[in-house]
Amino acid sequence: MKAKVFSIQGEEVKDIELSDAVFNHDVSEGAIYYAVNNELANRRVGTAQVKTRGMVNYSNAKPWRQKGTGHARAGDKKSPIWVGGGTIFGPQSRDYSYKMPRKIKRLAMVSLLSQKIQEERLKVVEDFTVESGKTKDLVSVLKQFIGDQRTVIVLKDDDELLRRAGRNIPWLHMLSYNRLSAKELHYGKQILVMESAAGNLNEFYGK
């Protein structure tokens, strides 16, 4: 399939050939759902933890004898029904991350790229950088394409100056073509793909 390539002034300059296997694929909503959930689970920090009765630092001595005191029987002060005792069924630290099948993850990325093309939310732009590394210079370029919507820029490689200029923009995310994020692509209102990155995506996901 063919797509327009835009200059940083927002003008159409030429056409580019995009792989149908990557940008014109059937959209699998199930694969997208599982890929986004997988990324969210892998980012989750499972450090919430409370002390059970086995972790509380109390004596194991019996508070009083079993019979004859008039009190209810008690084994030790670590019991959950005592003030300062352990907690029943409280959260424990755990690892929420898990691995997805590689084919499903690739299908999700291809589906997201195809979906954004169909919704006219993906544009191919000429390669550019911000030599000054200043945020205001990058914002002036992005205004030609979007306002302040949640935006993703797909890069060919790690452009340090461009990343420096964009790190203070809260609604902007930058991804390398070979390390895409299903979450960012799914929730991104506009996707800007560098011309060289589009060629790399054709090869990387078109195999």
| Lowest mean per-residue pLDDT among 21-30, 56-65, 88-97, 138-147 | 138-147
Q: Which long-range contacts (CB under 8 A, 24 or more apart) does 47-53 make?
A: 47/93, 48/91, 48/93, 49/90, 49/91, 49/92, 49/93, 50/87, 50/90, 50/91, 50/92, 51/86, 51/87, 51/90, 52/86, 52/87, 52/88, 52/90, 53/78, 53/79, 53/80, 53/85, 53/86
Phi first, then psi, for residue 173 (nearest 5°) are -130, 140
Write down the pLDDT at residue 98: 95
Distances in Å between the Cα of 161 and the Cα atoms of 129, 153, 165, 199 are 7, 14, 6, 22
Is the pLDDT at 207 greater than 80, yes or no?
Answer: no
Q: Is the dihedral angle over the CA atoms 156, 127, 106, 35 positive or is it negative? A: positive
70 — pLDDT class (breaks 50, 70, 90):
very high
Write down the pLDDT at residue 11: 83
- What is the tens place of the pLDDT at every residue in 118-167? 999 999 999 888 888 899 989 888 888 876 788 999 998 878 889 999 98
Q: Which two tokens stand for residue 102?
A: 């590689």
Report, as an integer, the average pLDDT of 93-109: 95
The structure's pTM equals 0.83
Domain 2-44+100-205 CATH assignment equals 3.10.290.10:
no
Domain spans of the chain, in order of start: 2-44+100-205, 47-95
Write down the pLDDT at residue 71: 94
Is the pLDDT at 9 greater than 90, yes or no?
Answer: no
Write down the pLDDT at residue 104: 95
Is the pLDDT at 58 greater than 70, yes or no?
Answer: yes
User: Which residues, 6+ apart, have CB-to-CB distance to 62 below 8 Å?
Assistant: 74, 75, 76
Write down the pLDDT at residue 1: 85
Find the Cα–Cα–Cα–Cα dihedral 190, 192, 198, 204, rounded to 10°. Answer: -60
Mean pLDDT for the chain?
91
Write down the pLDDT at residue 205: 86
